[in-house]
């Protein structure tokens, strides 16, 4: 299981934390008895138990079909209808998968569209798709979001022009609401294979529904293990009801206490670039959940050691308003020892025989010491290795902690009223009919 260590948070001892047992127990109760704000959006809480073999088999067989007919699968979606799938896929897939023959599985290359309104980005994708066999997975809970709708209109036409209208239908899968929205209507009218996003699961909590599971299965990863990891974490968090033993309570509470002490920014850090999109997923989950009513920690992220050569100076000596949470991965997948070099002109022979992972973990330790010396509170999630099971645990852990954090701030962690502001302006400027 993943572990959590807050001993280097600099400001609060275990005894300080214990004084807030009642406060955290109250919000834990609200969440687990489904009596808090936004309780009609708590479907994610039980997803790991409720996702049954029938659904998993349907998802897997759809994924197998898409795999057989595609070199590329384009996942069209934005926000919660995009980030979870990409977070897991990028964490697990070969970093250079596009450069076959080095890829480590035969699954299609999964790429993404509809998560921006860049004309260049879309046109470059179309250029690639001219020369490849491909399928589309279009995801939108509301079925009306502008960015994926534009991308889908264009990609659907490309697909129909390339394969013919009837064959194109076999290459398009829609994931949307069970009854509402334009995408549902289009799927029904065209007979696309369709998966449902449950009513009581909001976008950013939906990675363990078909929204995440289908793209992850298409990319060749084990969705049963992902669910198993989430289920194990669910069991852990629901059976350990006290602060002493419940790592989500600990994480939510220490974040809240740090926030109240003026630490307004959380820097989520990984020492592995494969986790960059996991950090993007975390940013959306916490940003959209907590940032409202003039409250909330600003969630941001960094990849070390890369960003130690850019943000490192600020973190060490800039304004003291941030704390760091490290995704500390203990084992790498590959091992490359530092080779001997008789000339030693680069002066690296002192590292002889050490693996890159050992050096990376040492960089992590050295950085932690330096940042703690520089008065940056350090929290640590210790993850044995990056695999489906551990990612499932992390997903459920962060979702649960985020909900607790929202309740500590006394806000509804499951709505996102602020997201509408830019849309209203854009629609007015574009002259969208009312």
Active site residues: 288, 309, 423
Are residues 208 and 202 in contact, defined by beta-carbon separation less than 8 angstroms?
Answer: no
Q: Does 220 bind ligand PA5 (CB under 6 A)?
A: no
- Minimum Å gap between C-beta 370 and ligand PA5 is 36
Q: Does 184 bind ligand PA5 (CB under 6 A)?
A: no
Nearer to ligand PA5, 143 or 229 (CB): 143
Q: Does 416 bind ligand PA5 (CB under 6 A)?
A: yes
Nearer to ligand PA5, 115 or 328 (CB): 115
DSSP summary character for residue 211? H
Q: Does 80 bind ligand PA5 (CB under 6 A)?
A: yes
Q: Does 81 bind ligand PA5 (CB under 6 A)?
A: yes
DSSP summary character for residue 292? B
Q: Which of 210, 355, 334 is nearest to 274 (CA)?
A: 334
| Contacting residues for 135 by C-beta, under 8 A, at least 6 apart | 66, 69, 70, 72, 73, 74, 108, 171, 172, 173
Nearer to ligand PA5, 91 or 201 (CB): 201
Nearer to ligand PA5, 196 or 370 (CB): 196
Angle in degrees, CA 30, 32, 33, rounded to 5: 65
Burial class (CB in 10 A: 0-12, 13-18, 19+), 299: buried
Torsion angles phi and psi, residue 301, rounded to 5: -155, 170
Q: Does 377 bind ligand PA5 (CB under 6 A)?
A: no
Q: Does 303 bind ligand PA5 (CB under 6 A)?
A: no
Are residues 403 and 33 in contact, defined by beta-carbon separation less than 8 angstroms?
Answer: no
The H or E element spanning position 174 is strand 172-176
Stretch of residues binding ligand PA5 (CB under 6 A), selected from 77-85, 290-298, 362-370, 405-413? 77-85
Of 280, 288, 364, 388, which lies in the binding site for ligand PA5, with binding defined by CB under 6 A? 288
Q: Does 413 bind ligand PA5 (CB under 6 A)?
A: no
Nearer to ligand PA5, 148 or 406 (CB): 148
Stretch of residues binding ligand PA5 (CB under 6 A), selected from 44-52, 138-146, 229-237, 372-380? 138-146
- Minimum Å gap between C-beta 299 and ligand PA5 is 14
Pairing of strands 3-8, 378-385: antiparallel
Distance (Å) of CA 73 to CA 54, 92, 150, 216: 23, 17, 18, 11
Of 198, 203, 229, 413, which lies in the binding site for ligand PA5, with binding defined by CB under 6 A? 203
Of 2, 31, 62, 79, which lies in the binding site for ligand PA5, with binding defined by CB under 6 A? 79
Q: Does 86 bind ligand PA5 (CB under 6 A)?
A: no
| Contacting residues for 329 by C-beta, under 8 A, at least 6 apart | 270, 271, 272, 275, 383, 385, 386
Binding site for ligand PA5 (CB under 6 A): 78-81, 140-142, 145, 148, 202-204, 288, 416
């Amino acid at each position: 299981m993943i572990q959590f260590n807050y001993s280097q948070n600099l400001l609060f001892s275990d005894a300080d934390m214990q004084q807030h047992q009642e406060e955290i127990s109250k919000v834990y109760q609200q969440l687990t008895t489904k009596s808090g704000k936004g309780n009609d959006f708590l479907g994610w809480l039980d997803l790991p138990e409720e996702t049954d073999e029938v659904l998993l088999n349907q998802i897997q067989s759809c994924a197998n079909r898409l795999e057989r007919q595609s070199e590329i699968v384009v996942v069209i979606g934005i926000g919660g209808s995009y980030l979870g799938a990409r977070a897991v896929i990028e964490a697990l897939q070969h970093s250079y998968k596009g450069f076959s023959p080095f890829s480590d599985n035969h699954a299609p290359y999964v790429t993404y569209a509809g998560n921006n309104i860049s004309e260049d980005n879309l046109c470059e994708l179309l250029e690639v798709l001219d020369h490849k066999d491909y399928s589309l997975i279009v995801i939108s809970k509301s079925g009306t979001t502008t960015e994926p709708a534009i991308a889908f209109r264009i990609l659907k036409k490309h697909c129909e022009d390339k394969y013919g209208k009837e064959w194109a239908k076999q290459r398009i899968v829609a994931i949307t609401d069970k009854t509402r929205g334009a995408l549902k209507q289009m799927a029904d009218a065209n007979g696309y294979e369709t998966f449902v996003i449950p009513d009581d699961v909001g976008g950013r909590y939906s990675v363990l529904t078909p929204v995440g599971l289908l793209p992850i299965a298409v990319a060749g990863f084990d969705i049963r293990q992902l669910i198993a990891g989430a289920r194990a974490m669910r069991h852990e968090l629901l059976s350990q009801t006290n602060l002493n033993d419940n790592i989500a309570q600990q994480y939510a509470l220490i974040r809240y206490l740090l926030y109240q002490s003026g630490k307004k920014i959380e820097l989520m850090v990984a020492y592995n670039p494969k986790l960059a999109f996991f950090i993007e997923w975390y940013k959306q989950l916490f940003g959209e959940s907590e940032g409202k009513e003039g409250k909330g920690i600003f969630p941001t992220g960094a990849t070390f050691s890369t960003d130690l050569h850019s943000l490192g100076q600020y973190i060490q000596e800039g304004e003291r308003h941030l704390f760091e949470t490290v995704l500390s991965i203990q084992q790498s997948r590959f091992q490359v020892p530092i080779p001997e070099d008789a000339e030693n002109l680069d002066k690296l022979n002192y590292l002889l025989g050490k693996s890159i992972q050992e050096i990376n973990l040492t960089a992590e330790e050295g950085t932690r010491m330096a940042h703690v010396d520089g008065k940056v509170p350090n929290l640590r999630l210790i993850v044995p290795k990056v695999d489906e099971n551990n990612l499932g645990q992390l997903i459920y852990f962060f979702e649960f902690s985020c909900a607790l954090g929202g309740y500590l701030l006394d806000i509804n962690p499951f709505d996102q009223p602020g997201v509408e502001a830019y849309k209203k302006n854009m629609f007015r400027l574009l002259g969208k009919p009312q």
